[in-house]
Amino acid sequence: MTARAGDYRALFDLRGRVAVVTGAAGILGRVFCQALADHGADVAVVDLDEAGAEELATDLAETFGVRSCGIACDVADPASVAAMAAEVEARLGPCDVLHNNAATKTSDLAAFFAEPEDMSLETWREVMGVNLDGMFLVARELGAGMARRGRGSIVQTASIYGMAAPDQRIYEGSRYLGQRISTPVSYSTSKAGVVGLTRHLASHWAGAGVRVNALVPGGVRSGQNDTFIERYSQRIPMGRMAEASEMAGALVYLASDASSYVTGETLAVDGGLLTW
């Protein structure tokens, strides 16, 4: 094969493709939507926060010149997911790229950050309902359509704590938005489930031309206090936390034809944490 100038650069081109991002109005979701739009994708901005989703969609269309729409969806509700999928297709067309990104800290931060022996089953189920059930419901709904059309890429946001246990020593004196923090057992378990779901769907849909991979972010600066930032950074070979924008390149790679022979993988963007 003789390559021409631009052939490899074009692998990252998402023009003409429809991307759906769940949890799109959050800290990382906003960056993910911007990255996909900047590479030419039309973006369905999906979030429980309808006003936030619509505001971001307007910004994407104005900034990047793509089609974009904001859609409210509760990913833990099968009827809401089905309605979202139908609205995406009606407004933008069939989904080519799904970034399954929605997750929850629940409505009660104190309950969410409870120790395993103190965590209620209600909180556990609330986390699982979004972080794992929601991933399955959205992947089932949109992935089935991709498989029928013979093409698609699904990227699911997992976590380093779905791959390894948290170091409990970093949490003494650590705060997030004023709240004592930890990595809850419900969160770790749900994200480990995302990795398993990703591998299963990758194998199941590989023959239908649908790739399924997991993006595994490390710790991102987003309101933690200085104590946490310093202690976490000491656990990282690169010596610092990530900025949200540093997750974007990995998403574009997994969403695009640049990763056309990659499926069932977990791509960690963690500054080297999982090497230790």
Q: What is the secondary structure of 133-156 as a DSSP string?
A: IIHHHHHHHHHHHHHHHT-EEEEE
Whether 136 and 128 have beta carbons less than 8 Å apart is answered as no
Catalytic site includes residue 161: no
Q: Which two tokens stand for residue 30?
A: 């906003």
Contacts of 228 (CB under 8 A, 6+ apart): 170, 171, 173, 174, 175, 176, 181
Contacts of 49 (CB under 8 A, 6+ apart): 25, 72
Taken as a whole, the chain contains a residue count of 276
Instruction: Give the helix/strand (H/E) hosting 97.
Output: strand 97-100
Q: Which of 161, 171, 187, 253 is labelled catalytic? A: 187
Q: What is the secondary structure of 171-225 as a DSSP string?
A: GTT-EETTEE----HHHHHHHHHHHHHHHHHHHHHGGGTEEEEEEEE--B-SSB-
Q: Which residues are bridge partners to 211 per DSSP?
A: 153
Whether 12 and 254 have beta carbons less than 8 Å apart is answered as no
Instruction: For residue 72, give the 3-state DSSP assignment.
Output: strand
Q: Which two tokens stand for residue 145?
A: 């359509």
Whether 55 and 43 have beta carbons less than 8 Å apart is answered as no
State the catalytic residues.
Answer: 187
